[in-house]
Structure 1
Amino acid sequence: MIDLINLFVLGMYDYLLLQDNNPKFQKRKYKRLKKAQREFGQGGSSDDDFDGSSGAGRSAEDKIKDDLFDDVDVDLPDDDVGDEEELAVDEDVVGSEDEMADFIVDEDGNGHRRKGDHKKKKYRQGSDISALRDASEIFGDVDELLLIRKKGLASSERVERRLEDEFEPTVLSDKYMTGKDDEIRQLDMPERMQISEESTGSPPIDELSIEEESNWIYAQFTSLLKDPDGLHIFGGQGFSVKKDDIAKFLELHHVQKLEIPFIAMYRKEQCRSLLDSSDISELYIEKKPETKWHKVFWMIQDLDRKWLLLRKRKMALHGYYTKRFEEESRRVYDETRLNLNQYLFESVIKSLKVAETEREVDDVDSKFNLHFPAGEVGIDEGQYKRPKRKSQYSICSKAGLWEVANKFGYSAEQLGLALSLEKLVDELEDAKETPEEKALNFVCAMFENPQAVLRGARHMAAVEISCEPSVKKYVRGIYMENAVVSTSPTADGNGVIDSFHQFSGVKWLREKPLSKFEGSQWLLIQKAEEEKLLQVTFKLPENFMNRLISDCNEHYLSVGVSKYAQLWNEQRKLILEDALHTFILPSMEKEARSLLTIRAKSRLLSEYGQALWNKVSAGPYQKKEMDISSDEESAPRVMACCWGPGTPPNTFVMLDSSGEVLDVLYAGSLTLRSQNVSDQQRKKNDQDRVLKFMVDHQPHVLALGAVNLSCTRLKDDIYEVIFQVVEEKPRDVGHGMDDLTIVYVDESLPRLYENSRISGEQLPQQSGIVKRAVALGRYLQNPLAMAATLCGPGREILSWKLHPLENFLQVDEKYE
C-alpha cells in the first residue's frame, strides 16, 4: 500500500515538471473517470483531475451527448478556409485553455483574436479536423438530431408523407400496403368477391331476388343447350341442370360468401346437377384424384355477374327516366302533349321492368331517348353549351307533326302488342277526310305543302315503329333464326386468297344460315372483310320477308273498303316499308354481326381455356417406386438442360425438390461433331464435367428443352455420359441413376419466364439461359405453380401461344 502511495506521488511530481517546462501542457481528462464520477454522484469536487462540475443534476440530453461524443473540447472554425496548423495540436494534448491560444498575429504584425463562434463542440479525441467538418456538414448539428429524436411520432408521419409524394401510386400499391388493402383485410369476405362487387354492387340476398335470378339463369342455360356451341361447352347431349340447384348455388355464393372451389369440394352434394359427370361418379366410386375445371359453376358465376350488371343498369335507368320525365313535364304546357308523355313514360317503365337482356334494355333506352331527348334543362343562360345535333324526327316533332303521325292509325306500341299476340287491339275506324286534307292544317315555312307534311309524319311514324321494343323483339326472333350470309371475294381477294390461304375456307359462302356458324369461322370472315378481301352480305330469305311484311300489314292496315280507308292504307304501307327496310333490317344486320362475333369469341375462349387447362392440369412428374430417397422428398430432383448455340453454351442446372438452384454447369463443347483433336479434347472435358455433375447431385430425372433438331443430338450425348457413369462408376450411382430418364419439355413457357420481371426478382444474378433452365425444371416439377408464377401484375402468361386464332381475343378477355 505504501509503495502504491509513493508511486502516485512520483507521478504527481512528474506532471508538475512537465507543466513547468511546457506551458501548454494539460493533464488528460479521461472520460471513464468523469463518467464514473457522474454515475456515483461524486460531483462538487475541486480536484484538478476533474472538471469540477456536478454530475447529479445532468439532463438526458447531456447524457446522450456523452454517449455520442468524448468530453475533449476543441474549437471548430466557421469557414473551411483557414490554417489547419492553428487547430492542430499534439495528439495527446488537445483543447488547451490558455488565454493566448486564440491570439493570432497577421503579416503586418498586428495581433487580434480569432473570430468565430466560441461555442464549444465535443469531438472524439484523436479525430481528424477535416473529417469532423465533413461529418458535421453531412449529418448536421447534434441539437437538430436530438430534436428529431424527441419527435418520434411526428417524424414517422413525415416519412409517410414523403413516400406518397416521391413514388407513383402504382409503385405504392405494388410495394406497400394501402388504405384499400386494409379495408379488404378487415372485411370478412374473399378478396375476389370484394373486387367483383365494386363493379356489380352488393348482390341481393333475399329469397325473392335469388329465385328471380335463378329463373333467369335457368332460361339462359336452356337457350345454350339448344345451341350447337352450347352443347360443345357442356360436353354433348344428355346434360341438364336443375333450377333448385342454381338457387342453392346462389345462396352459397351470395349469402355464405363461399367460392367455387370450396363449393365444388365441400358442398357438392347440395347442387349435384351442376357438377361434371366425373364429379358425380366420384360421389359413389373412388377414383384417382385429378384436377377439375367445374365449367358449369364458372358459367353460372359469369351469368350471375351479367345479371347483377343488368339489374344495376335497370335501376340506374329507372332513376334517370323518372328525373328526366319530371323535367320535361315542367317544360310542356299543352295538356294533350302532357297526356301523351305520361302514356309514353309509363310504357317505357313497363318495358324496362320486363327486359331480360342487354339488347332489350338498349331497345327501351332508344325509345325513351327518342321521345325524351336530352335537352337544355338545368343549364344557365350564360354557360357555355355544346352545339346540339338535331335529328329529322325532332324537327318534325317541334313542327307539330306528331299530331298527324298519331292519325295514321295504330301506335307503334299497339303494333308491337298485336305482333307478339300479347293483346288484341280494336279495329280502326275509317277516317272522314283524306290524308292531304289533314296535312293541310300543318303547312308551315319548313313544310310548305301537304306532301311535305305527310312525308315528315310518315318519317316520325316509321322511326317510332323502329324504336318500339316489342316490334324489334318480334323482328329479331325471325331474323336471327332465318337470315343467311353470303361471301364473295373482291378483286384484291381473288388474287390474294389461294387454296393455302388462311381465308380459303370462307372465300365462297352462299346463303349460310346464322345458326350454322360454328367455331371461330365468323372471325376469319370479319378479318377478311376488314382487309377488303371479301364482300359479306346479309339477307332474309324472300319467303320469310314476305311473311314478315304480311304480318305487319295484317295488324297495321285498316280492313275498311272506303275510299278514305284505302288512301290512309297507302300511307301506312309506305310507313311500314320505310320502317322495315330503312331502320329495322339494317339494325338487325348490325345485331347479327355482333351476335356472330360474340358466339365465335365465346367458342374461341372455350378452346383457348381448354388448351390452357390441358397445359396446367398435367400432374407433376412422379418419381419411380424404386427411386424413393431416404428423406422421402415429395418432388423429384430435376437436372434441367437448355441447348445453346455457343453463346450462350449448353447449360445444365440442378434443382432440389423445392425448385431451388443448387448448381449451374456450362458445357458448350458437349455437342461438337468435329474430328479435330482439340475439339475432341474439349468435348471429352465437357463430358467429364457433366459426369461429375451428375454423380455429385444424383438427379431423379433430366428435363431437356425441346427447341430444335439439335436437341436430339444433345440427348444422345447426354445418354452417352449416363452410360459412362453406369459403366465406370457403378458404386457412385444412386437409386435409379442407372435408369435415368430424359424428358423433353416445351420451352415456350420457360422463355416467357426468362424475360419476365419475376425472374429478375427471383434470380437476379443469373443469365437468361439459366433462368430458362430453372423454369424448365420447375415446370416439370409442378406445371400449375410455374404457370401461376407468370400471372402476376405483368401478365406474362398472356403471351403464351396456345391457339392459332388467339390474336382475335383481347388481353382482358384472355386474362379473365
Structure 2
Amino acid sequence: MEPDTLERGFYTDTDAEIRNADVPERFQLRTIPVKPAEESELELESEWIYKYCFVEPSISKQDAIEDLGSTFSSSTLSTLNRKPPSCVGKIQDTLNFMRNQQYEAPFISFYRKEYVEPELNIHDLFKIYHWDEKWTQMNVRKASVTRLMQKMQTFQYEQISADPDKPLGDNVRALTDADIERVQGIQTMEEYHDIYRHFLLHYGRDVPKMQNALRIQRQRERAENGLNPDEDAPSLASDLKQASRRHMYTVCLDAGIGGVANKFGLTPEQFGENLRDNYQRHETEQYPAEPMDLAEDFLCPQFSTKEAVLEGARYMVAMQLAREPLVRQCVRQTFNERAKISVQPTKKGKKEIDEGHPCFSYKWLQNKPVKDLSGPQFLHIKNAETENLVTMTIHIDMHGTVGSQTYFEEIKQLYYRDEFSHLVQEWNNQRSKVVEFMLQNIIYPEMTKELKTLLYDEAKNGIKEHCALKLRSYLSVAPYQLEEREYDEDEEEERKGTVVMAIAY
C-alpha cells in the first residue's frame, strides 16, 4: 500500500506504537512530551500557571461571555473568571495527576473531581494541560541557553588564561555568573528571547570559535584514551565552513568604532536601571572631547568621514541599549499599556467593505487603545489586512494630535546630562539621536510584531473557548423524558401484545 494510504488509515509503525503504549494518545502526540516531575517543580509550576493563566489579564478583552450567560449557571460563570489563590494547591494536584500518574483532563474532571472542584472545571483542566507544555518548553530552552553560556564562560576563561598579560579589548564583555543566574529567573518566553538576543549580540561571533575549540578538545581526549578521533561525527560536520552574513554591528566592531561608542556616558545596564526607576539613578559621565574631534581618531576605510564614524557609533550604542533585557522589559510594559491601533481602508477596501463586512464598524479606526479591543475584532482586522482591504498600524504615541508628549521625550531625559556648555550639548544631541534610533528603528518594530502575535493568539483562543462552551451547552442536556399517561383496557392489551411480539422476535 502507498505510504499516504497507510498514514491516512493509521496503519504506520508509529500508530502501532501509540496504540500499544499504555499512555494517553494525547500525551504521546504533544510536541513537548509529558514527563514526570518532582514535588518541588510541581509547586513552582502551579504558582507559575496560576499567575500567568488565571490571574494575569489579557491585553484585549477576551473574557466577556455575557452572551452565553443564559446557558450557564452563575456558579459556572464564576469559575470561568479569575480564580482565588486557594486553587494553587488544586493546580498542583492536577499537574501531579497529569505528569506523574498519566491521567487526562476528562478523567480528572469525572473521577478525581474531589481534588479540583469547585475552583477548577474541565475547561480549566485543559488550560492547565496546555500551559504545562509551555512551562516544559521554557525549562528546556532555559537549560539549553544555560549550557551555552557556561561553555562560553569557560572558553573566555581559557582565552584569558592563555595570555593573562594581554589587556582586554574595549568591546570584550566578560560573561559573569550573574548573567547565567539571570537565566534561572526567566518567567516568560519574551524574557527568554531578550536574554538570548543579548547573548548573541555580545558573544554570537565567538560561538563558532568556541565550538571549534570544543571539537579539538574532544578529539584530543579521544586520542589520549586510545580512540580514533576521526570517528567523532560532529567534528566532520564542523569542518565545513558555513556561510554567514555579517551584521552591521559586527562591521562597526571590527572597524574599531566601539572606542567611540564607549564614550557616550552610560552603560546599557545603567540606562536600564534609570528606565526602571524612572529617574537618573546613574548620572551620565561626560567625555572631555567633542564628538567630531573624537571621531577623527577613528577614521578608517569603512568609515571615511567623521559623520560616518559617529553614525556607526550611534548604531552600536542603540543596538546595545535595545538588546539589554532590562530596557526591553521596561519598554515592553509601557508599549503594551499605551499601544494604540489605527486602521485605514485601501482603495480595494473602500469598495468591498460594506455594511455586511465584519470590519465595517472599525475600518476608520484612529488611535484606539488595543486594550479596548474585544472578542474577534483584531482577528477581523488581521484577516482584512491579509486580503489587502485595510492597512493596520500599531503605535505608542498619539498620531495626528498636537502638543502630546511622546514616549521618546519622556525617556531621553534619562540619557542626558543637565549642563549648558557647548561640549555637553553636542554629546546630548548624540545621545538623543541614539535613543530615538533605538525606539523607532529597533524596539518599536519588534514590539509591534510581538503585540500583533499576542493579540492574534488571544482572539483565536477566545473564539475557541466560546465555541467549546457553546458545544458544551448543546451536549449538557438531560435525557428526553416521555410523558406518562393512563391507557384504557384495549390500548393496554395492544401495548402488552406489541411488547410480547417484540421479545419473541
Q: Give the TM interval when normalised to the shorter protein.
A: 0.7 to 0.9
Which of 466, 471, 477 in structure 2 is aligned with 1:607? 466
Deviation at 1:602, TM superposition (A): 1.1
TM-score (norm 1): 0.49
- 1:235 aligned onto 2:66: no
Deviation at 1:190, TM superposition (A): 3.9
Greater shift, 209-218 or 252-261, is seen at: 252-261
Residues 268-308 of structure 1, C-alpha deviations (whole Å, 9 max, x = no match): 333335235xxxxxxxxxxxxxxxxx212221222222111
The residue type equivalent to 2:32 in the other structure is S
Deviation at 1:441, TM superposition (A): 2.4
1:519-530 matched pairs, under 5 angstroms: 519-530=375-386
Q: Is the 8 A contact 1:229 1:518 kept in 2?
A: yes
- 1:303 aligned onto 2:131: yes
What residue in structure 2 maps to residue 210 of structure 1? Answer: 42
- 1:353 aligned onto 2:195: no
Q: Partners of 2:168 and 2:316 in 1: how far apart?
A: 18
- 1:373 aligned onto 2:204: yes
Q: Partners of 2:99 and 2:251 in 1: how far apart?
A: 50
What residue in structure 2 maps to residue 317 of structure 1? Answer: 145
When Rg is computed on C-alpha atoms for both structures, the one with the higher figure is 1
Q: Partners of 1:175 and 1:185 in 2: how far apart?
A: 13
1:139-154 matched pairs, under 5 angstroms: none
Structure 1 portions without partners, runs of 5+: 1-165, 277-293, 628-728, 738-816
Q: Is the 8 A contact 1:523 1:597 kept in 2?
A: yes
Q: Partners of 2:485 and 2:262 in 1: how far apart?
A: 90
1:417 to 1:616, Cα distance in 2 relative to 1, 3 A: same
Deviation at 1:456, TM superposition (A): 0.5
Deviation at 1:395, TM superposition (A): 0.3
Q: Partners of 1:316 and 1:582 in 2: how far apart?
A: 30
Q: Is the 8 A contact 1:484 1:514 kept in 2?
A: yes
Deviation at 1:466, TM superposition (A): 1.5
Higher RCO, Cα 8 Å, sep 6+: 2
1:350 to 1:586, Cα distance in 2 relative to 1, 3 A: same
Report how many aligned residue pairs link the two structures: 450
Q: Is the 8 A contact 2:416 2:428 kept in 1?
A: yes
Q: Partners of 1:274 and 1:312 in 2: how far apart?
A: 30
1:270 to 1:185, Cα distance in 2 relative to 1, 3 A: same
1:533 to 1:183, Cα distance in 2 relative to 1, 3 A: closer
Q: Partners of 1:177 and 1:532 in 2: how far apart?
A: 42
Deviation at 1:178, TM superposition (A): 4.7
Q: Is the 8 A contact 2:60 2:372 kept in 1?
A: no
Q: Is the 8 A contact 1:201 1:312 kept in 2?
A: no
1:219-258 matched pairs, under 5 angstroms: 219-220=51-52, 221-224=54-57, 228-230=61-63, 232=65, 235=77, 239-241=82-84, 242=86, 243-258=88-103
Deviation at 1:487, TM superposition (A): 1.6
Residues 35-65 of structure 1, C-alpha deviations (whole Å, 9 max, x = no match): xxxxxxxxxxxxxxxxxxxxxxxxxxxxxxx
1:346 to 1:573, Cα distance in 2 relative to 1, 3 A: farther
Q: Is the 8 A contact 1:506 1:524 kept in 2?
A: no
1:608 to 1:342, Cα distance in 2 relative to 1, 3 A: same
1:445-594 matched pairs, under 5 angstroms: 445-542=301-398, 546=405, 548-594=407-453
Flag the structure with higher helix content. Answer: 2
Q: Is the 8 A contact 1:351 1:469 kept in 2?
A: no
Deviation at 1:580, TM superposition (A): 1.0
Structure 2 portions without partners, runs of 5+: 67-75, 213-234, 499-505
Deviation at 1:331, TM superposition (A): 6.9
Q: Is the 8 A contact 2:55 2:82 kept in 1?
A: no
1:324-403 matched pairs, under 5 angstroms: 324=152, 326=154, 335-337=167-169, 340-343=172-175, 346=177, 348-374=179-205, 376-377=208-209, 378=212, 384-403=240-259
Q: Partners of 1:423 and 1:473 in 2: how far apart?
A: 16
1:409 to 1:732, Cα distance in 2 relative to 1, 3 A: farther
Residues 600-659 of structure 1, C-alpha deviations (whole Å, 9 max, x = no match): 1111111222333344444555555579xxxxxxxxxxxxxxxxxxxxxxxxxxxxxxxx
- 1:193 aligned onto 2:65: no
Residues 49-104 of structure 1, C-alpha deviations (whole Å, 9 max, x = no match): xxxxxxxxxxxxxxxxxxxxxxxxxxxxxxxxxxxxxxxxxxxxxxxxxxxxxxxx
SS at match of 2:50: helix
Which of 106, 118, 130 in structure 2 is aligned with 1:261? 106
The residue type equivalent to 2:103 in the other structure is L
SS at match of 2:173: helix
Q: Partners of 1:257 and 1:228 in 2: how far apart?
A: 34
The residue type equivalent to 1:204 in the other structure is A
Q: Partners of 1:530 and 1:176 in 2: how far apart?
A: 39
What residue in structure 2 maps to residue 758 of structure 1? Answer: none
Q: Is the 8 A contact 1:558 1:565 kept in 2?
A: yes
Q: Partners of 1:303 and 1:224 in 2: how far apart?
A: 15
SS at match of 1:569: helix
SS at match of 1:420: helix
SS at match of 1:228: coil
Q: Partners of 1:624 and 1:474 in 2: how far apart?
A: 66
The residue type equivalent to 1:514 in the other structure is V
